[in-house]
Chains A and B, each alone.
Chain A
Amino acid sequence: MMTPRKVLVVEDEKSMQILLLHVLSGAGYAVTLATNGLEAKQFLAKEYFDLICSDVMMSGVDGIELCTWVKSQDTMNAVPFVILSSCAQLAEIADGYKAGADYYLTKPFHMRNLLSVIATALVRESMC
């Protein structure tokens, strides 16, 4: 049996945390939850994750800042970074991609979409 891929979820919204935990664990991923960008950095400094799913608007270190930081680290710049955000304006989405995000899903999104994005990202990463 394959060891489950490790996904770091960064989300400050309680209901969204419950939803993502349920859906991603249900799909067989090993999910770790960080409630803001700073907490996510602490997790990332300690262990390796296969993929990061992050919200944008969070107090302290926000999703964009987190993404920029992740993509600037030699040890983790290849880790796929998926942004999940209610910020749906073109300029906001552009900010996400400029920060180095691999995918940007605007809320609300379909759970099956999220799952296929994650699966695709993981396959692409393993091929690189």
Chain B
Amino acid sequence: MTLTTAVRCLLLACAIALLAGAASADDGPIGYIKTHAGAAFVVSGGKALEAVPGLALRQGDVLRTGDDGRLGLTLLDNTVMSVGPNAELVIDEYLFEPGNDKLGLGVRLLRGTMQFISGVIAKLRPDAVKVRTASGTIGVRGTRFLVTAGN
């Protein structure tokens, strides 16, 4: 490897690290896994992690369960969600800064079953909470409900 190639590789590595840093900036935990059984994973930044209690969740994470899987989680605004087997749930949007008037929660159930128990975001700004499936949207007015998304 020539010196210039080495320098180029180093620069490329730096650029990639910078980009990755930019993508994950301001990306603190939004909640944690609390329960799990069977095959249950959190896909975060392209990596699948086993959904063990205490695992941190971030905006953009995808929750996946297998045939025998289930998992439960809580978010920082006390929203509680749990999913059954063969489920895929995407946390599209999470904003919880009541002091700065920034509130939003958007999740998408691509398949499987879920329970949703609303938290503080739904209390402070009901319009900011949406649970979506492929063809329908649920607007939340402070409540507990179950969703199944069949294929």
A binds B: no
Residues of A at the B interface (CB closer than 8 Å) are none
